[in-house]
Each structure stands twice: as structure tokens, then as C-alpha cells.
């Protein structure tokens, strides 16, 4: 497939961006146009890296995170993205559906709600919706409408997925060993065309992975529970209150959370509140650590300090002190 007759040649210097961080919020802030928020779910010191090669029409990315993370927000207005899980200590969950085997993660102009496992690496391509629609119209390809406005685990033909995986591996190897090769306009054009060819070969074969009725029911239960947790404002709900509101026993709710998010509801809710406390402390609040902790439902202060240090590998007082020194 030759795209030169369809798309006018656009040349601009390739831009290579690389960032690494030991803080989940700083890592998230380095994601460029992605309008996402990250919450650290698993306990332990965080480390993350993000690499993006920007070609004239296409961005190629590689993201690595050490801890289990919930990612939510939007990939970017009018953006199309395809991601390939590279490695991880567990399953990736996209909007309640586990990504398994040779499935890919795809979306167009979508809201993102994804939980990634520990030691996770994701590689992929992001471009504009307009470019994909233009190519589809010129090539007579019908785009799968199911990809619009939601992040999905997708089944696609194996051959173009394998070829895209090969391209992404070669790009990262070149970034590591000979990034100056991307200074060649002909090389940039050839690379961009090769990536778009594989994407346009993949899309006609795309179909959403079928999670099954029981999986959908579990996701619905978890969604209702999380909506209550996150919408509780300044008052921290108890697990019992959440169970009553969604009509599920603690055992059933625990099973649903484990299947959908890979963690227990109690651990998830505590992790979300710890992330909120950390963000308040990082803003250099005038309130005491104790006052901030109580605001998010941590009434046992010594236990809170232990939980906080276990989760972020530092005491809450250290977080607050560092933020005030940086101000």
C-alpha cells in the first residue's frame, strides 16, 4: 500500500522526548497532550519513564510504570490511539475488560479508564482522528464505530499487529542506539508510512473483545461502587455503606473488584484516598498532616502514617516538608 498518492508529503524535524520520574504525578504530567490522571494503586516506590518520537503526523510512544496504576481522563481531543501491552506482572483492564493474548488497546476520541499492573510497559501510536478518517475514505475502509469514544480491548488480525509490534521494537532500538537516523527526512517519511499502513490494515479486522455477561455485571457493580467512593466529597464512606448502596455483600464486592481491577475494594479505596492526601500535601497546604489525613477518613493517625510510608516510600511529613521547600 503506497500512501504517497493519498497524503501530501509533510516534513518537519522529528522530535524525541524522554522523561523519567519517581513520582506518579510528575510522570503523568510528562505525557504531553494526553489529558490523563494517574493514581498509584500498589504500594512501593514508584518509577516511570515515557518516550515519545513525534513524526509529522504520528507520535510513537513507550511508557513504563513500576507500580499498579489507575489511568483515567482523555487521550486527547480528536485523537486516535493504538497501544500494545509489552510486558507486565498481571493483566491490563480497560473499562472493565481484561486485555489478554494478542489483543490491542484502541480508541478514537475516547475517555480512558484503565488499570495497569506492576512492571508494565505499553508501546503504541497516537495520531489525529482526521488523518485516520481521511485515509479510510481514500482507501475504502469502513472504520469500526465501536472504537469511538471509549477505550477498548480489541481483537484484530494477527499479521498486521505482529508487523506493527516489529516496527515499534525497531523504533525503540534505534532511539537507544542511533537516534540521529530520524534526522533523515526520507527515513521519517518511510517510517510514518509504514506505521499508517499497518494501522489501516488492522482497523477493518477490529472487533471489541466480548467480556461476557458475567464480566459486564461485575464491571457494573464495580462502576457503581467507584462512583460512590469518588463522589463522596469530603466524607469518606465506609465499605459497609458502599456494599449496602450497590446491593452486594463484602465477599461479592471483593470478588468483583479482584476480577475487574486486580485488587480488593478496601485496598483500592485506601489507595485512592492516600493519593488525594499526597496531592494536598504536595500543594504545600497550611493545614497539618493530621488535619489532611482526617479530611480523607484516616482517623487512626499512626496507622495512616504507616500506610502512607508503605504506599509512597516516604512519611507524609517528608512530602509536606519537601513541597514547602520547593515553594
pTM of the model: 0.86
Q: What is the SS3 assignment for 21? A: strand
Radius of gyration, alpha carbons of the chain: 22
Buried b (16+ CB within 10 A) or exposed e, 23-43: bbbebbebbeebeeebbbbbb
Q: Are 132 and 109 in contact (CB under 8 A)?
A: no
In angstroms, the CA 22 to CA 47 distance is 4
In angstroms, the CA 27 to CA 42 distance is 16
For each of the chain's 327 residues, which pLDDT tens digit applies?
555 444 444 555 578 999 999 999 999 988 877 788 899 999 999 999 999 999 989 999 999 999 999 988 877 678 888 999 998 888 888 876 777 666 788 877 777 888 899 999 999 999 988 998 899 889 888 877 766 677 777 888 889 999 999 999 999 999 999 999 998 988 888 999 999 999 999 888 887 766 666 777 888 898 899 888 877 655 667 788 899 999 999 999 998 888 888 889 999 989 999 999 999 999 887 889 999 999 888 889 999 999 999 999 999 999 999 888 876
Q: Which of 263, 267, 136, 111 is nearest to 202 (CA)?
A: 136
Q: What is the SS3 assignment for 88? A: strand
How many other C-beta atoms are found inside a 10 Å radius of the C-beta of residue 233?
7
Amino acid at each position: 500500500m503506497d500512501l504517497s498518492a493519498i497524503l501530501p508529503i509533510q516534513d518537519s524535524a522529528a522530535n524525541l522526548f524522554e522523561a523519567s520520574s519517581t513520582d506518579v504525578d510528575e510522570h503523568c504530567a510528562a505525557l504531553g497532550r494526553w489529558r490523563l490522571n494517574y493514581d498509584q494503586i500498589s504500594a512501593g516506590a514508584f518509577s516511570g519513564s515515557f518516550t515519545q518520537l513525534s513524526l509529522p503526523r504520528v507520535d510513537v510512544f513507550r511508557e513504563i510504570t513500576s507500580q499498579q496504576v489507575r489511568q483515567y481522563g482523555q487521550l486527547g481531543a480528536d485523537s486516535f490511539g493504538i497501544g500494545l501491552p509489552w510486558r507486565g506482572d498481571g493483566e491490563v483492564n480497560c473499562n472493565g475488560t481484561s486485555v489478554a493474548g494478542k489483543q490491542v488497546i484502541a480508541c478514537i476520541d475516547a475517555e480512558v479508564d484503565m488499570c495497569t499492573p506492576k512492571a508494565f510497559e505499553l508501546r503504541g501510536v497516537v495520531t489525529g482522528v482526521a488523518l485516520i478518517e481521511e485515509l479510510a475514505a481514500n482507501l475504502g475502509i469502513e472504520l469500526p464505530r465501536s472504537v469511538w469514544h471509549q477505550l477498548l480491548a480489541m481483537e484484530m488480525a494477527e499479521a498486521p499487529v505482529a508487523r506493527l509490534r516489529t516496527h515499534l521494537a525497531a523504533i525503540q532500538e534505534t532511539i537507544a542506539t542511533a537516534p540521529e537516523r530520524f534526522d533523515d527526512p526520507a527515513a521519517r517519511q518511510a517510517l510514518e508510512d509504514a506505521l499508517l499502513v499497518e494501522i489501516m490494515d488492522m482497523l477493518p479486522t477490529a472487533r471489541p473483545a466480548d467480556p461476557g455477561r458475567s464480566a459486564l455485571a461485575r464491571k457494573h457493580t464495580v462502576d457503581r461502587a467507584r462512583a460512590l467512593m469518588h463522589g463522596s466529597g469530603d466524607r469518606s464512606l465506609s465499605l459497609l455503606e458502599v456494599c449496602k448502596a450497590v446491593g452486594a455483600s463484602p465477599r461479592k464486592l471483593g470478588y468483583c473488584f479482584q476480577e475487574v481491577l486486580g485488587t480488593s475494594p478496601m485496598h483500592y479505596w485506601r489507595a485512592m484516598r492516600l493519593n488525594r492526601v499526597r496531592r494536598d500535601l504536595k500543594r504545600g497546604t497550611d493545614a497539618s498532616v493530621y488535619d489532611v489525613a482526617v479530611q480523607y477518613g484516616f482517623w487512626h493517625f499512626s496507622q495512616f502514617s504507616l500506610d502512607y510510608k508503605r504506599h509512597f516510600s516516604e512519611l507524609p511529613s517528608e512530602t509536606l516538608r519537601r513541597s514547602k521547600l520547593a515553594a
